[in-house]
Copies of this chain bind each other. A is one copy, B any other.
Amino acid sequence: MKIKVGVVGGYGTIGKRVADAVTLQDDMELVGIVGPGFDWRAALMAKRGVKIYLAPNARIEEFKRHNYEPAGTLEDLLRKVDVVVDATPEGVGEKNKEIYDRFGVKAVFEGGEDHKLTNVSFVAARNYKESLNKKYTRVVSCNTTAISRVVGAIHERIGVKKAIISIFRRAADPWESHKKGIINTVVPELEIPSHHGPDAQTVIKDLDIITMAAKGSHNLYHLHMGFLELKEKATKEQVIKALEEEPRVVLVSGKDRIEALNSIFEIGRDLGRPRGDVYEIPVWLESISIIHNNDLTLIWATPEESDVIPENIDAIRALMGVETGASKSIEKTDKALKVLKRFY
């Protein structure tokens, strides 16, 4: 029997992608999504046959104006599902949790919510089992997911004594870049460490990490620059091997003219992915440098709209207990989403 899934916040950047990804899994069924209003994004979901339920305080007039008959309320949906993915804006998830509690529905929250909300955070390859059969879990943010994969892969296989990560963030997602944004500037996060470091530690408990972040004047992908002091001497080959073994990480090369964030974006589009989505963390081969003996540097791109999508799928399986180990779930998810270990 398939896992019955609902997505709350179902046409936001993450929500719509999770909804589509759920549809592609052969052990899951998308019962419906919940939205606060109705605009072109909702209309496109509806046109594809996805059922839309009303969020608490939904803007009913928008549904009426578009002559769309909602499939019911959030509560109606909760009566039909085993688990929801809550991809609502920061802070809303916390309020919704009380409702999920009341209906006894399991829930996956996103990185905008606090770790304390669930007391367990999630990156499949790192700590799948911690969420096994739990009522709630939290998929960490796009940035923390990327760090957990790349730095985690090296930490697990080689050993990281200390990680210093600089994050050059995109300032807004493409779809809302006409309302939010910055122009011709860079905005540093003045408090250091930025929240990403402590957040990574909710997944990789023994990682010594300091993160610094700044917003740049672009809307696609974060760029991470990593400096890792390794526990012991290692070769570039060992690092490459660690990354090759890690799911959802790919190596890319400037020699093939993959030179910047926009190259990665174009690859996603050329791969024929829905929305040009990139689920993998692309690490630049040339940037992997062993300096002195133990110092490793590397640079990667963090596709902020989509890297957490496979994690959400795995988190559903962990909560439901249908797969007891990470590798089986990762394999299923990655097959369904066509996640690659090489772009070509």
Q: How far is the CB of A47 from chain B (nearest CB, A)?
A: 5
Residues 218-249 of A, flagged 1 when their CB comes within 8 A of B and 0 if not, give 11110101010000000000000000000000
Which of B181, B267, B276 makes the CB contact (< 8 A) with A276? B276
Contact B190 A287 (CB under 8 A): yes
> Hey, which chain B residues are within 8 Å of A24, CB to CB?
none
Contact A295 B40 (CB under 8 A): no
A266 close to chain B: CB less than 8 A: yes
> Hey, which chain B residues are within 8 Å of A297, CB to CB?
192-193, 210, 212
Contact A182 B181 (CB under 8 A): yes
> Hey, which chain B residues are within 8 Å of A175, CB to CB?
262-263, 266
Which of B179, B185, B225, B299 makes the CB contact (< 8 A) with A261? B185
Nearest-CB residue, chain B, relative to A271: B44
Interface segment among A149-157, A250-258, A313-321: the answer is A250-258
Interface residues of A in 266-281 (CB under 8 A from B): 266-267, 269-272, 274-276
A117 close to chain B: CB less than 8 A: no
Interface segment among A87-95, A101-109, A118-126, A163-171: the answer is A163-171
> Hey, which chain B residues are within 8 Å of A191, CB to CB?
286-287, 289
Contact B218 A185 (CB under 8 A): yes
A252 to B187, CA, bound (A): 14
> Hey, which chain B residues are within 8 Å of A221, CB to CB?
186
> Hey, which chain B residues are within 8 Å of A275, CB to CB?
269-270, 272, 276
Contact A184 B218 (CB under 8 A): yes
Which of A65, A168, A172, A184 is most buried by chain B, counting CB atoms within 10 A of its CB? A184
Which of B177, B190, B210, B212 makes the CB contact (< 8 A) with A262? B177
Which of B220, B227, B276 makes the CB contact (< 8 A) with A212? B227
A265 close to chain B: CB less than 8 A: yes
Interface residues of A in 180-207 (CB under 8 A from B): 180-188, 190-193
Which of B41, B212, B270, B299 makes the CB contact (< 8 A) with A299? B212
> Hey, which chain B residues are within 8 Å of A41, CB to CB?
257, 266, 270
> Hey, which chain B residues are within 8 Å of A164, CB to CB?
164, 227
Nearest-CB residue, chain B, relative to A37: B257
Contact A185 B227 (CB under 8 A): no
Which of B44, B265, B287, B295 makes the CB contact (< 8 A) with A343? B44
Contact A259 B178 (CB under 8 A): yes
Q: List 20 A-B pairs, Cβ < 8 Å.
A: A40-B258, A40-B267, A47-B344, A65-B255, A166-B166, A171-B181, A177-B185, A180-B181, A183-B184, A184-B219, A186-B221, A188-B299, A192-B291, A216-B216, A216-B217, A219-B262, A269-B276, A270-B275, A272-B275, A276-B276
Kindly list the 10 A-B residue pairs having the minimum CB-CB distance in the complex, ordered from nearest.
Answer: A178-B260, A166-B166, A190-B286, A269-B275, A185-B262, A43-B344, A39-B257, A181-B183, A181-B181, A175-B266
